[in-house]
Structure 1
Amino acid sequence: MFFGENQSKQDSIFESLAATPPMGWNSWNKFGCDVNENLLKQMADAIANSGMKDAGYQYIVIDDCWQVGRDKDGNIIADPKAFPNGIKALADYIHSKGLKLGIYSCAGSLTCQGRPGSRGYQFQDARQYAKWGVDYLKYDWCSNEGQNAEAAYRTMSDALKACGRPIVFSICEWGESQPWKWAKGVGHLWRTTADIRDCYQCKFDWGGVGVLDIIDTLAELYLYAGPGHWNDAEMLEIGNGGMTKDEYITHFSMWAMLAAPLMAGNDLRSMDKDTKEILTNKEVIAVDQDSLGQQARRFMDMGDHEIWAKPLAKGEVAVCFLNRTDHEWQLDYNWKKDVMYFATDVNIHKNEYTIRDLWKHKDIGTTAANTKYNIPAHGVLMVQLNLKK
């Protein structure tokens, strides 16, 4: 096989990954640097046994702090105390559960927690990940030493394409170089903001952002999302205790509307009933995982109140009414009033649609009549319009 043919095959395999937004769990939001192989095995068990695997979650991602150095040949070394059996054994265990392993590194010389990064070792590290059985790489941007982001991420992308194993590539440079403009074909998902915090709306001097801030950042990026290339709205905070149930429902609903990756970030071993119900809502997850791969648009912005719509593959549409305020929204919505001009298969003036409440799991009327609903503070009404038979 000629080099060009081999490169084309590698690119084709790479581009076929992440046809829908990746779903899984990441260690960072809850556990930070306190990671070890027993924790990861327990999380794999929890996904397999809690209904999350059945709902579509598949990646178990070790974030920063698993690595401690390099051997005399430059190979990356996992912390022998935290991972005494090595990453390969952990990958084998996770694969035995029908799940996939993700790992973390950084485009800089050091990771964000001062562990060895991949700069200068990209192809060697990619081959090591493949040998271990890694399925997903989150690649950060600390200690980048003034590198050009696009060039740095292309180098690791080339390394992954050449490593001999299909590995999903998660670009994590916090949206600083507008990766949505250059990262299609380089990675499968790219962060768009600073790190998420477990709050509805908040900003920090050191860069953390809340749920509303992330939603607002993604609002105009819908043209860049699609199968194999997703705007990453950051990992989920559901179950970590910083928001109300209604706020967590908003968090999950809007991530699904935005066709964002769904990476849980809580302790899966001790989920309460509300957390489990939110994370395993299959009707909402189906909107996120819809094969058309379109990101929702904010087609009505009324300041305190917004209406978002996401076309779906079977000529249906998901609609989310978002109440940004501290007060209940007494919705009385006339479906005939506003035209979703971008949802080309949906014609509310010509056809009647059944309105399915995706959180109550029941039909609540049709588009022939106004929808009346009391949406709680910081809450949503998320529905799907299905052509009435």
Structure 2
Amino acid sequence: MKKISLLFLGMCASFQAFSQGNNYVQNYKKFDNLALTPPMGWNSWNKFACNVDENLIKEVADAMVATGMKDAGYTYINIDDCWHGERDAQGFIHPDAKRFPSGMKALADYVHSKGLKFGIYSDAGSQTCGGRPGSRGYEFQDAQMYAEWGVDYLKYDWCNTEGLKAEGAYKTITAAIRKAGRPMVLSICEWGNDKPWEWGPTVGHLWRTTGDIYNCFDCINDHGTWKSWGVMQIMDKQQHLRQYAGPGHWNDPDMLEVGNGMPANEDRAHFTMWSMMAAPLITGNDLRKMSPQTKEILTNKEVLAIDQDKLGVQGYRYAAKDSLETWLKPLADGKWAVAFLNRSKKPQPVRFDWKATPITDEVSKAELNAAKTTYRLRNPWTHKDVGTTKKAFAATVPSHDVVVLLLSK
């Protein structure tokens, strides 16, 4: 009898373990076949912060179409923090009824009617950075609501996350999105503290590598307990990360500040370097009031093609001397992009002898050898052909600006 009882208990324990393992197996892997090139779109935070409502979002969606941004490849209209209202008695989140009286489903439908995609924001902690309800403890309910609303993109922040471990928290929201059943791009906004590039590629589609950017070319804004970083400071923090980037999984040096107060030369350099780094291009300006210069920068299809190249290789700093940097980015079909960046306050001469400088990229193994192959040179900012690699290239790079070349066989 004792043996039978022990056998019965053993069978029960085995059955219980088996059923527990199969009743609810979570899938911690992101939806595949999304963000195969760096995501392009717009986000409300850099320009509007918490001042968001449904009329603004509709107007920005209209402007994205009217200005040619959509035709240039920008796809996502993303609402950042402060859209949240309260949770209902069952714990489901609802938008702020005063700011979004029509509801998020109606707003998403409007954005989709323009041929665009709809993005939203939440936080892994108990509250968002703006003090609204976070998703901690409500991840599956929130993902269900987002799916019902028609959300295509989720930016998931990292404020008020006391005691949480980033990898586990982001796996939880990924499992929740999976359970909800609607494919969404997951933007991991953990600020690079827990090395998301090491665990992020299977969990999300892009991950922030730094703290927040702000609209200054070469500055640090110290807030006391945290800092905002200028364009050059953010760029410098991308070193040693390029091997983690590729189709469907991107290093994210934060959103663009083009059109938010820097002069055109600095905006052009900013946009170029983000494209050289295969960064997501999420604009943060007021699309309804763009200057012709801002529009020209953001819709330059030849520069956008560098960012959106299907090879998906992040560019790198090849050389630096006297505040003049040479950056290289291998492209598909044996092409290359070369950017000469002048970080100084004075114009700088550049000379590059192609034949004397054979290059092999360590990550992609692509070779640039002008001694064996002659490349045609084209300047994507002037839209002009500028010779070949038979001759050394010489130019003057203006202060806080770039000279960019596309090399093709």
Same fold per superposition (TM over 0.5) = yes
Choose the corresponding residue for 2:279, options 235, 260, 270: 260
The one-letter amino acid of 2:337's match is: A
Give CA-to-partner distance per residue, 1:147-171, whole Å, 9 cap, x none.
1111111111111122111100000
Give CA-to-partner distance per residue, 1:77-133, whole Å, 9 cap, x none.
100010000000000000000000000000000000100000001111001100000
The equivalent residue for 1:109 is 126
The equivalent residue for 1:77 is 94
The question of whether the paired residues in 2 share the 8 Å contact of 1:181 and 1:224 is answered with yes
The question of whether the paired residues in 1 share the 8 Å contact of 2:360 and 2:367 is answered with no
The equivalent residue for 1:167 is 184
The question of whether the paired residues in 1 share the 8 Å contact of 2:38 and 2:281 is answered with yes
The equivalent residue for 2:303 is 284
Choose the corresponding residue for 2:250, options 226, 230, 234: 230
Q: State the shift of 1:302 in Å.
A: 2.2
**Does 2:77 correspond to 1:60?**
yes
**Does 2:208 correspond to 1:191?**
yes
Q: State the shift of 1:136 in Å.
A: 0.2
Find the aligned partners of 2:309 and 2:108 in 1 and give their Cα distance: 28
The equivalent residue for 1:40 is 57
The question of whether the paired residues in 2 share the 8 Å contact of 1:109 and 1:116 is answered with yes
Q: How does 1:1-389 map to 2 (within 5 A)?
A: 11=29, 14-206=31-223, 207-241=227-261, 243-342=262-361, 344-387=366-409
The question of whether the paired residues in 2 share the 8 Å contact of 1:15 and 1:185 is answered with no
Secondary structure in structure 1 of the residue aligned to 2:282: strand
The one-letter amino acid of 2:52's match is: V
Find the aligned partners of 1:130 and 1:366 in 2 and give their Cα distance: 51
The question of whether the paired residues in 1 share the 8 Å contact of 2:81 and 2:129 is answered with yes
Give CA-to-partner distance per residue, 1:30-54, whole Å, 9 cap, x none.
0010000000000000011111000
Give CA-to-partner distance per residue, 1:244-292, whole Å, 9 cap, x none.
2111001000000000000010000010110000000000101101111
The one-letter amino acid of 2:288's match is: R
Find the aligned partners of 2:283 and 2:249 in 1 and give their Cα distance: 20
Q: What is the percent sequence identity of the aligned residues? A: 55
The question of whether the paired residues in 1 share the 8 Å contact of 2:356 and 2:371 is answered with no
The one-letter amino acid of 1:360's match is: T
Secondary structure in structure 2 of the residue aligned to 1:48: helix
Q: State the shift of 1:219 in Å.
A: 2.4
The one-letter amino acid of 2:47's match is: K
Secondary structure in structure 2 of the residue aligned to 1:60: strand
Secondary structure in structure 2 of the residue aligned to 1:218: coil
Q: State the shift of 1:300 in Å.
A: 1.3
How many residue pairs get matched? 383
Q: State the shift of 1:73 in Å.
A: 0.8
- TM-score (ref. length: structure 1): 0.95
Find the aligned partners of 2:88 and 2:65 in 1 and give their Cα distance: 35
Once structures 1 and 2 are overlaid, which stretch shifts more, 292-301 or 31-40?
Answer: 292-301
Give RMSD over aligned pairs. 1.7
Secondary structure in structure 2 of the residue aligned to 1:250: helix
Q: State the shift of 1:339 in Å.
A: 2.3
Find the aligned partners of 1:42 and 1:354 in 2 and give their Cα distance: 42
The question of whether the paired residues in 1 share the 8 Å contact of 2:147 and 2:180 is answered with yes
The question of whether the paired residues in 1 share the 8 Å contact of 2:28 and 2:174 is answered with no
Q: State the shift of 1:341 in Å.
A: 1.3
The question of whether the paired residues in 1 share the 8 Å contact of 2:359 and 2:367 is answered with no
The one-letter amino acid of 1:128's match is: M
Secondary structure in structure 1 of the residue aligned to 2:334: coil
The question of whether the paired residues in 1 share the 8 Å contact of 2:26 and 2:175 is answered with no
The one-letter amino acid of 1:55's match is: A
The one-letter amino acid of 1:371's match is: F
Q: State the shift of 1:347 in Å.
A: 2.2
- TM-score (ref. length: structure 2): 0.91
Find the aligned partners of 2:288 and 2:359 in 1 and give their Cα distance: 42
Q: State the shift of 1:7 in Å.
A: 7.9
Find the aligned partners of 1:333 and 1:25 in 2 and give their Cα distance: 36
Find the aligned partners of 1:227 and 1:59 in 2 and give their Cα distance: 18
Find the aligned partners of 1:125 and 1:166 in 2 and give their Cα distance: 14
Find the aligned partners of 1:226 and 1:8 in 2 and give their Cα distance: 26
Find the aligned partners of 2:355 and 2:235 in 1 and give their Cα distance: 27
Give CA-to-partner distance per residue, 1:186-228, whole Å, 9 cap, x none.
1100001110010001112221000001111112211010001
The question of whether the paired residues in 2 share the 8 Å contact of 1:48 and 1:97 is answered with yes
Find the aligned partners of 1:149 and 1:66 in 2 and give their Cα distance: 24
Find the aligned partners of 2:358 and 2:169 in 1 and give their Cα distance: 43
